[in-house]
Amino acid sequence: MRDMTLEDLNGYTGEERTLTYYDGFSRKIYLVDREVDFPEGKLIVSSTDPAGIIIHTNQAFVEMSGYSEEELVGEDHYILRHPDMPAVAFKGLWDTISKGVKWHGWVKNLRKDGAYYWVYATVVPNIRDGKIVGYTSVRRKPSRRKVEEMSALYKTLL
């Protein structure tokens, strides 16, 4: 996963930050104060291996994330991690799905161009012969009320 560059922002102005992930990896990112609306009627679908490495995407995921399919497949799912999302939210997600349980939540995602989009996400562990072999996630358009509610809540958890 490379550092973001100013060229990624497509002419927008962004705030430079350093983001450190759960495994200690850090990269430079830019945050653009621009929300991209979730397209009506679409669902973002992706699958990862048990370690969270993306193995499957759909076209809606490519469009919304701003990354190409080639850039997404093989990458850690936390490439989408927005610094406005508290670590405790992701801990809750991983604690839940690693036990083989479905998880739902509202997530703010960082796009390749530094902008963001909100989703209502569902993540399900894929279990074969009693073993977790990966995770499937579907993201749908959230309600504005929940986005505002969760946005305010997440600020208190950072």
Partner 1 sequence: MAHLMTISPDFNNKYLPGWFVFNTWLQKNFGEAIHLEIFDGFESCRKAIADDSVDIIYANPFDASLLLRDKGFLPVAHPSARPDEAIIAVNAKSPLTKIEDFRPGVRISSTDDPEVNMICLIMLEPADLGATDVQFTHRENYVLVAKDLIKNEVDAGFILAETFNDLSPLIRDQLRIILKSQIHVIHHMFLVSPKWADKVNALQQLLCKMADDEKGRGILRDIGVSSWDASSKEEAEFMVDLMDTLMV
Residue tagged 């509202």 (tokens): 106
Contact segment (CB under 8 A) with partner 1 among 39-47, 74-82, 86-94, 107-115 equals 39-47
| Contact string 62-101 vs partner 1 (x = CB under 8 A) | ----------------------------------------
Q: Which is nearer to partner 1, 83 or 136 (CB)?
A: 136
Give the Cα-Cα-Cα angle 23, 19, 121 (nearest 5 degrees): 80
Contact segment (CB under 8 A) with partner 1 among 7-15, 22-30, 87-95, 120-128 equals 120-128
Q: Which is nearer to partner 1, 24 or 41 (CB)?
A: 41
* 39 forms part of the interface with partner 1 (CB under 8 A): yes
Contact segment (CB under 8 A) with partner 1 among 53-61, 77-85, 90-98, 150-158 equals 53-61
Structure-token pair, residue 116: 């963001």
* 146 forms part of the interface with partner 1 (CB under 8 A): yes
Shortest distance, CB of residue 40 to partner 1, whole angstroms?
6
- As a whole number of angstroms, the distance between CA 22 and CA 154 comes to 18
Find the farthest-apart pair of alpha carbons in the chain and give their distance in angstroms, rounded: 50
Q: Which of 14, 8, 20, 19 is nearest to 112 (CA)?
A: 8
Radius of gyration, CA atoms only, the chain: 15
* 48 forms part of the interface with partner 1 (CB under 8 A): no
- As a whole number of angstroms, the distance between CA 87 and CA 31 comes to 18
